[in-house]
Amino acid sequence: MTTYRELTRGGISTRTAATLVGIPRATATRAPRTPAAGPALVPMNKLGVLERARILSVVNSPRFVDLPPIQIYAQLLDEGVYLASISTIYRILAENTQVKERRRLARHPPRAIPELVATGPGLVFSWDITKLPGPIKGKYYDCYVMIDIFSRYIVGAVVHASESAVLAAEMMTETFAIHGTPQVVHADRGTSMTSKTVAVLLSDLEVTKSHSRPRVSNDNPYSEAWFKTLKFAPVFPERFGSLGDARRFMDAFVEGYNHTHRHTGIGLNTPADVHYGLAAGKALERATTLAAARARNPERFNTSLDPKILTIPDAAWINQPAQQQEHQPQLAA
């Protein structure tokens, strides 16, 4: 700016002088600010140190420690007391790093993440209950479904008019009698799932009881994925005319799913083939078919290996630990 002023005093125009020194003309011609004379004036309405300390003491008192400033302000005002404005109370709290959740909150310990693995059929069962729409709005039937997470085989599926822990225990008893008792039974935290009736049954059978974390649907992925497959199927009706209709539909759907549905998570085999140990034989037949196709038209194949989607995973996980994760087929029902 000194050079600019010297140029203008020598008769050079302000535009030319600004160009020569490389600064905008508006900046160069702006009048410089004059420093304030004397010390800064203290606002008349500024609170003193003692007043600020009193306000902080009041809002942190046992009576008000759980309340936000707006509630404290209103209660004191109703009692004929005025400490300061709401914004001033907030500023004082901010100066003391107390602008946060001031209420005493319950501290819940972190829930353990369920980590379950099944290396074969019959080891880990997952179960849940879903609603089936009845004949009129507001009327629903309860469908209890238990699935083997390794084979994706539906080992148990019953429909009742209501949800009950006793009915859930009956479904489990019948399922275990047919398919054997698993090592682990996993479920979410619904009323029937956490009931004493179910807990006693599993304890008597020496079955480990596992539950999802609260409000974490991904902890029960196999049941949730199967319910989506069920309700997004083209044959799933808008409503069921009666309890009998719902039971007949579920019997047919589960039969078709178990024995005809090629599941992407188990090498495009049917759940029944994997559950009953027939998938290995099917894999050999598929390999023979693919080898013959390569021999006939080798130019149509760029590898001698079978597609990875036809590979059956060695294990099925619920929340596989990160250090053990490998490239595995995506979970699908």
Percent of the chain's residues with pLDDT above 70:
93
For residue 219, what pLDDT is reported?
93
Q: Amino acid identity of 15?
A: R
pLDDT digits (tens, 9 = 90+) for 266-284: 999 999 999 999 999 999 9
Percentage above 90 pLDDT, the chain: 70
pLDDT at 228 over 90: yes
Distance CA 306, CA 283 (A): 10
pLDDT for the residue numbered 255: 97
Count the helix, strand and coil residues of the chain and give each as a percent rounded to the nearest 5.
45, 15, 45
3-state secondary structure of 276: coil
Tens of pLDDT, residues 87-142: 999 999 999 888 876 667 777 778 889 999 999 999 999 999 999 999 999 999 99
* Cα(4)–Cα(208) distance, integer angstroms: 86
Q: For position 237, what pLDDT does the model report?
A: 96
User: Taking the mean position of all CA atoms in its chain, how far away is CA 20?
Assistant: 63
Scored b (16 or more CB within 10 A) or e, 72-90 reads: bbeebeeeeeebbeeebbb
Look at residue 34 and tell me whether its pLDDT is greater than 70: no
DSSP state of 307: P
How much is the pLDDT for 44?
80
Dump pLDDT digits (tens) for 201-221.
999 999 999 999 988 888 999
pLDDT of residue 33: 63
Please say whether the beta carbons of 202 and 214 come within 8 A. Answer: no
Contact present, 263 and 333 (Cβ < 8 Å): yes
Spatial distance between the Cα atoms of 148 and 232, rounded to a whole number of angstroms: 21
> Confidence band (pLDDT; 50, 70, 90) for 313?
very high
How high is the pLDDT of residue 329? 45
Task: Give the pLDDT confidence score for residue 211 in this predicted structure.
Answer: 94
- Provide the pLDDT for residue 31: 63
* Angstrom distances, CA of residue 82 to CA of 52, 57, 154, 238: 13, 14, 68, 62
**Closest of 124, 316, 145, 312 to residue 226, by C-alpha:** 145
The DSSP 8-state label assigned to residue 298 in this structure reads: G
- Length of the chain measured in residues: 333
DSSP labels, 149-171: TTT--EEEEEEESS--HHHHHHH
Q: Please, which pLDDT band fits residue 333 given cuts at 50, 70 and 90?
A: low
* Cα distance between residue 92 and residue 34, in whole Å: 33
> What is the pTM (predicted TM-score) of this model?
0.67
Note the Cα 203 to chain centre separation in Å. Answer: 30
State the Cα–Cα distance between residues 285 and 171, nearest whole angstrom: 37
162-179 pLDDT tens trace:
999 999 999 999 999 999
Angle at 19 between CA 18 and CA 24, to 5 degrees: 55
Do 117 and 313 touch, CB atoms closer than 8 A? no
Token code pair at residue 318: 């619920």
Taking alpha carbons only, the member of 280, 296, 242 closest to residue 132 is: 242
Name the band, by pLDDT with cuts 50, 70 and 90, for residue 29. confident
Q: How far apart are CA 183 and CA 124, in angstroms?
A: 6
Closest of 132, 142, 246 to residue 193, by C-alpha: 142
Mean pLDDT of the chain: 90
DSSP secondary-structure letter at 305? S
Query: Domain segments of the chain: what residues?
Result: 1-30, 49-95, 116-260
Q: What pLDDT score was predicted for residue 233?
A: 95
Second CATH level (architecture) for the domain 116-260 = 2-Layer Sandwich (3.30)
Element containing residue 16 per DSSP (H, E): helix 14-21
